[in-house]
């Protein structure tokens, strides 16, 4: 039996609201990508069997729109948490807006580029994750605005905003499709990173997405304890 020669402490970092956001966002993105790719290029249609219509396209478009509303709700919740969530959920904690976070970003980059074996222990998100999540957040806003423009081109306020930012509905559809690939790449890289991270450092980040807690070396926790983190 191999025993880690290190003492770990359990720190509670992710509120129920953040976990609700995470899983709503994850499942809605999966549904949106799958149904979206079908809408873009349907490999099977049902037109040949008019005597037994199954309306596959109509059904999948309907699922796309239902998932879209969950996606929008998740983004509204995350926006609220960026300002009013706990310490680790606020934008200030994970953006490279001060010297310490910039250094932390560099250390994380070195770790992922295999330039060092020194893992960057952080209670909340790493700064690198924070930067990627910010890009995804703005990409999500683009998906929402282009999607709503595609769905309700006749509603005057949506038409005004949509045509101002994206021009024609066809252009909005093109942008919507291109940004779909950002989400596909993000999902694949995200899954790769969490699994890889679980092998490299025993933080339990995968189960943490359910439980809300993380395991950190005792000395790292001691440093933070005087500040705010309620550790168990």
Q: How many residues bind ligand HEM (CB under 6 A)?
A: 24
The yes or no reply on residue 40 touching ligand HEM (CB under 6 A) is yes
Site for ligand HEM in 186-225 (CB under 6 A): none
The yes or no reply on residue 22 touching ligand HEM (CB under 6 A) is no
Nearer to ligand HEM, 105 or 143 (CB): 143
> Which residue among 11, 29, 95, 175 contacts ligand HEM (CB under 6 A)?
29
CB of 132 to ligand HEM, least distance (A): 15
Site for ligand HEM in 78-137 (CB under 6 A): none
Instruction: Give the residue at shortest CB distance from ligand HEM.
Output: 147
Nearer to ligand HEM, 150 or 201 (CB): 150
Three-state secondary structure of the chain: CCCCCCCEEEEECCCHHHHHHHHHHHHHHHHHHHHHHHHHCCCCCCHHHCCCCCCHHHHHHHHHHHHHHHHHHHHHHHHHHHHHCCHHHCHHHHCCCCHHHHHHHHHHHHHHCCCCCCCCCCCCCCHHHHHHHHHHHHHHHHHHHHHHHHHCCCCHHHHHHHHHHHCCHHHHHHHHHHHHHHHHHHHHHHHHHHHHHHHHCCCCHHHHHHHCEEEEEHHHHHHHHCCCCCEC
Binding site for ligand HEM (CB under 6 A): 29, 32-33, 36-37, 39-40, 61, 64-65, 68, 71-72, 143-144, 147-148, 150-151, 173, 176-177, 180, 183
């Amino acid at each position: 039996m191999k025993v880690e020669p290190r003492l770990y402490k359990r720190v509670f970092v992710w509120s129920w609201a953040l976990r609700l956001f995470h899983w709503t966002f994850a499942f809605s993105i999966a549904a949106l990508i799958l149904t979206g790719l079908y809408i873009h290029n349907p490999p099977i249609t049902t037109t040949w069997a008019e005597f037994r219509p199954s309306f596959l396209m109509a059904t999948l478009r309907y699922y796309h729109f239902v998932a879209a509303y969950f996606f929008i709700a998740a983004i509204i919740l995350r926006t609220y948490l960026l300002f009013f969530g706990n310490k680790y959920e606020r934008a200030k904690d994970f953006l490279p807006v001060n010297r310490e976070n910039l250094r932390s970003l560099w250390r994380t980059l070195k770790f992922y580029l295999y330039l060092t074996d020194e893992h960057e222990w952080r209670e909340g998100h790493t700064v690198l994750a924070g930067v990627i999540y910010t890009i995804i957040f703005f990409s999500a806003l683009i998906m929402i605005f282009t999607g709503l423009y595609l769905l309700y081109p006749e509603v005057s306020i949506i038409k005004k905003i949509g045509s101002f930012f994206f021009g024609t509905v066809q252009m909005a559809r093109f942008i919507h499709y291109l940004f779909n690939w950002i989400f596909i790449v993000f999902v694949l890289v995200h899954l790769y990173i969490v699994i890889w991270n679980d092998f490299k450092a025993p933080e339990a980040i995968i189960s943490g997405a359910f439980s809300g807690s993380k395991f950190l070396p005792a000395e790292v926790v001691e440093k933070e304890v005087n500040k705010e983190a309620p550790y168990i």
